[in-house]
Structure 1
Amino acid sequence: MDSQILPFIIFLIAVTVTPLLSSAAPATPCQSNCGSLQIKYPFGTGYGCGSPRFEPYITCKSNQLLLTTHTGSYLITAISYKDSTLTITPSAMSTCNSMQQSPNLGLDWASPFQLGPSIFLLLSCTPPTSSLTIKGSPVCDPSSTHLCATIYTCPAVVNLRLPLFPPTNTCCVYSPANFNSKGELDLREMKCKGYASIASFQDSPTDPSKWMYGVTLKYTNGGFDDYYMNNKCNTCEDSGGICGYSPPTNSFLCICNSGFNATTDCYNNYNPVQDYEDLIGTSASLSTQKIMLGLWVGLLFYIAA
């Protein structure tokens, strides 16, 4: 055998096998959990995961699930797939233990999210809040002023430059709340310094230290989500897969633990000959090993000849 040909053959094998091995890792970091939260459709943990309508707004970073809007990124602390709601806890939101001045809170109009049944308490407002209006309509609920008196018992009110036990006419119970034309809770316009949002009283309506603070949001599925949730996603998740999509067409994918991505489910995903139309990743599977073995056997026969 010509000794000059051998290095070329070895180089050819390396060039052929390397792309196969480099495609072994899945192209998308789709996970079924982010920290302590279970991640199911329509949410996802990265590009190509979940629904393409939700992907621009929901991300998993450092085991924290975040909702990002034009006003900032907010930690998601709870999800109810049954009720189609999630709870965010903005870092600048006030609680009984920590009160602070807050920037505006907002949602993108194009996003699939809207305000849920949270109760907003606007804090340290210019008195009297009974005259607080938006477009001429009063916004404060006079029947719930006891909530202002309750949260104003928290010593943290001094952080808003309020005295202990301040007058309740500097607080407004804004429920049901709404956002302005910019999709924001505009505290500056309403001349309030901060806000608290109550997601649940936790069976302690008179003890604000035990309330669950957070902003409840509802999310809505579009036509894409409804179709694939009803027809494919449930089957995919039942088979142990994670629902996703294949850019740029955003066609449905069932992302399986084996590394193969199916168009239906993961029950028979160990056979690479199946009809997988939209592969966005593969594994170092038996097929790759067969290709490598065939190349080496061919080389040995060539040397022996």
Structure 2
Amino acid sequence: MANHFSFIFFLISFFAPWCCIFAINPACRTTCGSIDVKYPFGTGYGCGSPRFYPYVTCPKDHLLLNTHTGSYPITSISYTTSALTITPPSMSTCSSMQQSPNIGLDWASPFELGPSTFLLLSCTPPTSSLTVKGSPVCDTSSSHLCDSFYTCPSVIGLSLPLFPPSNTCCVYSPANFNSKGELDLRVLKCGGYTSIVSLEDFPTDPNQWQYGVSLKYTHGAFDNYYIDNKCNACEESGGVCGFSPPSDAFICVCKNGTNSTIQCSYFNIDYQGDEDMFGSSASSSTWTSWLGILGGMMLLYM
């Protein structure tokens, strides 16, 4: 009996690597809406790096950053500088100003604030008295940004009059989050905020500014290892880099929904063109045949 189990274990060990290439989530894609999605980001569970899921997801073709304070649309990603931009729906812009809840990041996430310029709006005057841990937080040398932003007629959305006094606005520099990982507007006694990624070529025209919150992300040793050793080869073969729970081992998710531990082209065969051996319609019978052979060998031996 022991020999029987040894032989069965051998067969399972031989065929297991082939059976395990099927994708847990065959929906891994290289785009989400109009944004290119590459490692370490992914469009769903099992896609990209496990460090970045579930912080970045793609429900209904909208790439989102999820934190304990809300979900924020991601509008751009720079893979060369490891940066992205989010546009919180409650953030004020020149065309729309409103009261805002706190915004924050999870401490365990691989994200931190990038070089955005925050303006705190509708604050209790004078903003020169605004302090965090006893230190002033308003950059008076950049107060001209407040003057320009307050020319936008939408200031009435913050319950301010047209052309409100500039001492209710603060250029928060350097911007930082509190111990909860949040921009706490209530503690700062401000009604809203805006964040400027770039003034473009119009430093005094807030209609032309690029609004959003810039974030930096960091690769861990896990991600660096797989980028250097496996992910590039996977992407070059037409696959999407992902992971296989619960061990979170690296996998290369191919276009037809199969998984490979190496790269998609490893499983290509000539008579199936660009389709993977275990993902095409023809391969279903191939896989069934292998299972039949395995079952027959086990019964015959026993």
Instruction: Give the TM interval when normalised to the shorter protein.
Output: 0.7 to 0.9
Contact in 2 for aligned 1:260/1:270 (Cα 8 Å): no
Amino acid at match of 1:167: P
- Which residue number corresponds to residue 15 of structure 1? none
Once the 2 structures are TM-superposed, how far is the Cα of residue 28 of structure 1 from its aligned partner? 3.5
Amino acid at match of 1:111: S
Once the 2 structures are TM-superposed, how far is the Cα of residue 24 of structure 1 from its aligned partner? 7.9
**Residue segments in structure 1 that go unaligned for 5+ positions in a row:** 1-22, 272-281, 296-305
Q: Secondary structure at the match of 1:43?
A: coil
Q: After the TM superposition, which of the residue ranges 87-96 and 282-291 deviates more from structure 2?
A: 282-291
**Residue segments in structure 2 that go unaligned for 5+ positions in a row:** 1-20, 270-277, 293-302
Q: TM-score, normalised by structure 1?
A: 0.82
Q: Which has the higher helix share?
A: 2
Q: TM-score, normalised by structure 2?
A: 0.83
Judging changes above 3 Å, is the alpha-carbon distance between structure 1 residues 269 and 99 closer, same or farther for their aligned structure 2 residues?
Answer: same
Which deviations, in whole Å up to 9, do the C-alpha atoms of 1:195-225 show, x marking residues without a partner? Answer: 0000111211111011111000000011111
- Counterpart check, 1:288 vs 2:284: yes
- Which residue number corresponds to residue 5 of structure 1? none
Q: Spell out the pairing of 1:144-183 with structure 2 (5 A cutoff).
A: 144-183=142-181
Contact in 1 for aligned 2:28/2:44 (Cα 8 Å): yes
Q: Spell out the pairing of 1:64-103 with structure 2 (5 A cutoff).
A: 64-103=62-101
Judging changes above 3 Å, is the alpha-carbon distance between structure 1 residues 25 and 107 closer, same or farther for their aligned structure 2 residues?
Answer: closer
- Which residue number corresponds to residue 16 of structure 2? none
RMSD: 2.0
- Which residue number corresponds to residue 121 of structure 1? 119
Judging changes above 3 Å, is the alpha-carbon distance between structure 1 residues 204 and 51 closer, same or farther for their aligned structure 2 residues?
Answer: same
Structure 2: distance between partners of 1:292 and 1:223: 39
Aligned counterpart in structure 1 of residue 219 of structure 2, from 213, 218, 221 = 221
Q: Secondary structure at the match of 1:203?
A: coil
Structure 2: distance between partners of 1:24 and 1:228: 20
Contact in 1 for aligned 2:25/2:45 (Cα 8 Å): no
Structure 2: distance between partners of 1:252 and 1:291: 23
Number of residue pairs aligned between Structure 1 and Structure 2:
264
- Which residue number corresponds to residue 197 of structure 1? 195
Q: Radius of gyration: which is bigger? A: 1
**What percentage of residue pairs aligned between the two structures are identical?**
66
Once the 2 structures are TM-superposed, how far is the Cα of residue 289 of structure 1 from its aligned partner? 2.1
Once the 2 structures are TM-superposed, how far is the Cα of residue 290 of structure 1 from its aligned partner? 4.1
Which deviations, in whole Å up to 9, do the C-alpha atoms of 1:103-127 show, x marking residues without a partner? Answer: 0000000000000000000000000
Structure 2: distance between partners of 1:152 and 1:25: 53
Structure 2: distance between partners of 1:243 and 1:261: 10
Once the 2 structures are TM-superposed, how far is the Cα of residue 175 of structure 1 from its aligned partner? 2.0
- Which residue number corresponds to residue 103 of structure 2? 105
- Which residue number corresponds to residue 297 of structure 2? none
